[in-house]
Copies of this chain bind each other. A is one copy, B any other.
């Protein structure tokens, strides 16, 4: 049985889900023993630990120039000591160009089968990837498992499904039969989906697989060889993914250089050299806006970016202010605000928020938010696990600076104890009140657990500011609370024009930070927070070119 036959039903279901956009998941999100096996967690942790201090030797990439690696755990603040094979940019590109001519000739079916098979293999390593993710990104265990494991695999499958559908959207051959009156002109026509060429995927330090695999699988399904360039601080999770892809390629007698890992270090990054190389045709990037915009400006490249934005919460009217404050407190605390979808700017009218029990003043709501955050982070059974740790030391600096902003500091950041990791780098959320006129303060992404409470004239003013921020500085998510249908539509319309998806009235166990594969388009591509979207048609169709040849029937 071919790998395509083996996985055809999964691929078919995934394509259907793209169009219904209702709930679909091929990979269970809960690390339940009943699903993943009784010993899966223990085994995965052991496997992770056995890798520490050693060479990562699973890649099929031979003759390394050196073995390098600079990862550190934000939980222990110690180096992981793992090293990876390193290669010159020229070697990587020479390998990829040779692999291009192999991979482009593999059928869409076979590519889909091979790639879906690789996800099955990766599934068997979800727990190991989870520990690798914890100890590079600083995420809590549950997020590390879900985001780097099943959710990432679903996003990868989504890219496979989208690409496969587009490759099959036009016929490979047809008879063009044009009546000319007394005779017909008949042409045999054929269409080829020609992959654009070598693709480089540049990863980030906070979501090393979730943000990387959509580009990897979108480029691969459409026939492009891929060079995966992880963030130097978060290599292991995606190295495991690349190793599994390479194994499946090799088992299928294909060049494993179709997917290469390109590791570098902070003091000798290869990203620009790779990106600017004439043979690199496709670039995917997750990271900071200046670098993303530089990549977008490179001539002759097709570039997909997720950069940064300033996400807003618009508070107008609520049914239950306590539930709202609890929900938003969790959104802020979750992975210490280090999600690109985390809220930052909270727009609250000076007159307060309308509730079912009367008006809640600005200060009353602020206090509720503070109380909820304190309640969450001080709960030893929840706080440290929701917060995770701070991935990058510079985020700690940013938090300290936030407390010096002009405006009332409603909540100072502090540390809480993680019972398992005494040395964990933890900073709880800081909340500062900022005047609506201080746009210079709140028009920047303050990456990390930093919330700004912005006192506006009224909800229209809140909407106007949220839209302006999204249009000019980008936004990936927006939360809005209103019980008024007209206000709801106004928010929906104005934020849609700023290409920002809005989560309305979230309470309970669903948060504006969350983003579901096969349903939520992640980043719209329509504002400065990024030019690409997981996974809309544009994310795959720009990776190949339709070329049609034709020939008269009679001449054949």
Residues of B within 8 A of A299 (CB): 297
Which residues of A from 147 to 189 have beta carbons under 8 Å from B? 166, 169-171, 174-180, 185, 187, 189
A555 at the interface (CB under 8 A from B): yes
Oligomeric state, in copies: 2
Evaluate contact between A548 and B507: CB separation under 8 angstroms: no
Q: Give the CA-CA distance A169 to B16 in the complex, in Å.
A: 11
Q: Which residue of B lies closest to A101 (CB)?
A: B497
Residue among A180, A192, A299 facing the most chain B CB atoms (10 A cut-off): A192
Partner of A194, one of B180, B497, B536: B497
Is A438 part of the contact surface with B, judged by Cβ < 8 Å?
A: no
Q: Which of A170, A520, A546 has the most CB of B within 10 A?
A: A546
A492 and chain B: residue at smallest CB distance = B549
A469–B425 CA distance with the chains assembled, in angstroms: 57
CB of A521 within 8 A of chain B?
A: yes
Question: By the criterion CB–CB under 8 Å, are B536 and A505 in contact?
Answer: no
Are A180 and B509 neighbours in the complex by a CB distance under 8 Å?
yes
Residue of B22, B174, B179 touching A176 (CB-CB under 8 A): B22
Q: How far is the CA of A159 from the CA of B86 in the complex (A)?
A: 48
Contact of A504 among B176, B546, B551 (CB under 8 A): B551
Given contacts A176-B519, A508-B552, A552-B508, contact A194 B526 (CB under 8 A): yes
For A178, give the chain B residue with the smallest CB separation: B23
Min C-beta distance of A315 to chain B, whole Å: 15
Give Cα A23–Cα B510 distance, bound, in whole angstroms: 51
Q: Among B192, B492, B495, which residue has its beta carbon within 8 angstroms of that of A496? A: B192
Per-residue contact bits, chain A 307-319, to B (CB 8 Å; 1 contact, 0 not): 0000000000001
Nearest-neighbour CB distance to chain B for A299, whole angstroms, equals: 7
**Least CB separation from A190: chain B residue:** B492
Q: Flag if B516 contacts A176 (CB, 8 Å).
A: yes
Q: A21-B174, A23-B177 are in contact. Are A545 and B520 (CB under 8 A)?
A: no
A493-537 at interface with B (beta carbon < 8 Å): 495-497, 499-510, 516, 519-521, 524-526, 533, 536-537
Question: Are A547 and B499 CB-contacts (below 8 A) given A174-B21, A537-B166, A541-B538?
Answer: yes
Interface core residue of A185, A497, A516 (most chain B CB under 10 Å)? A497
A273 at the interface (CB under 8 A from B): no
Residue of B nearest to A526 (CB): B545
CA distance A221 to B170 in the complex (A): 22
Q: With an 8 A cutoff between CB atoms, is A423 at the interface?
A: no
Contact of A552 among B495, B496, B510, B536 (CB under 8 A): B510
Indicate with 1 or 0, residue by residue over A15-45, a CB within 8 angstroms of chain B CB atoms.
0000111110000000000000000000000
In the assembled complex, which residues on chain B have CB atoms less than 8 Å from the CB atom of A503?
A: 549-551
Tell me whether A21 and B507 are in contact in the complex, defined as CB-CB below 8 angstroms, given that A176-B516, A297-B299 are known contacts.
no
| A229 at the B interface (CB under 8 A) | no
A552 and B506 contact, Cβ closer than 8 Å, known pairs A521-B546, A524-B547, A547-B496: yes
Q: Which A residues between 294 and 324 are near B, CB-CB below 8 angstroms?
A: 297, 299, 319
Q: Shortest Cβ distance from A488 into chain B, in angstroms? A: 8
Q: A166-B537, A520-B550, A525-B545 are in contact. Are A175 and B22 (CB under 8 A)?
A: yes
A191 on the B face (CB < 8 A): yes
A336-350 interface code vs B (CB 8 A; 1 in, 0 out): 000000000000000
Q: Are A536 and B547 in contact (CB under 8 A)?
A: no
- Whole-angstrom CA separation of A21 from B23 in the bound complex: 34
Is A196 close to B, CB under 8 A?
yes
A542 within 8 A of B: yes
Instruction: Answer whether A505 and B551 are a contact pair too, CB < 8 Å, given A171-B19, A194-B499, A526-B545.
Output: yes
**How far, in whole Å, are A22 and B175 apart by their CA atoms in the complex?**
6
- Which of A542, A548, A552: most chain B Cβ within 10 A? A548
CA distance A384 to B143 in the complex (A): 74
Bound-state CA distance A520–B189 (Å) is 9
| Contact status A510-B169, CB under 8 Å | no
Q: Report Cα–Cα, A550/B21, bound state, in Å.
A: 12
Across the interface, name the chain B residue whose C-beta is closest to A297.
Answer: B299
Taking the closest CB of chain B, its distance from the CB of A485, in whole angstroms, is 10
Interface of A toward B, CB cutoff 8 Å: 19-23, 166, 169-171, 174-180, 185, 187, 189-192, 194, 196, 297, 299, 319, 492, 495-497, 499-510, 516, 519-521, 524-526, 533, 536-538, 541-542, 545-552, 555
Selected A-B contacts with CB under 8 Å, 23 pairs: A20-B171, A21-B189, A23-B177, A169-B537, A176-B516, A178-B516, A180-B509, A189-B519, A190-B492, A194-B496, A196-B526, A319-B555, A496-B549, A501-B548, A502-B549, A504-B551, A505-B551, A508-B552, A519-B548, A521-B546, A525-B545, A536-B541, A536-B546
Known: A23-B177, A196-B526. 8 other contacts (CB 8 A): A20-B174, A22-B177, A185-B510, A189-B520, A191-B521, A505-B555, A507-B552, A525-B545
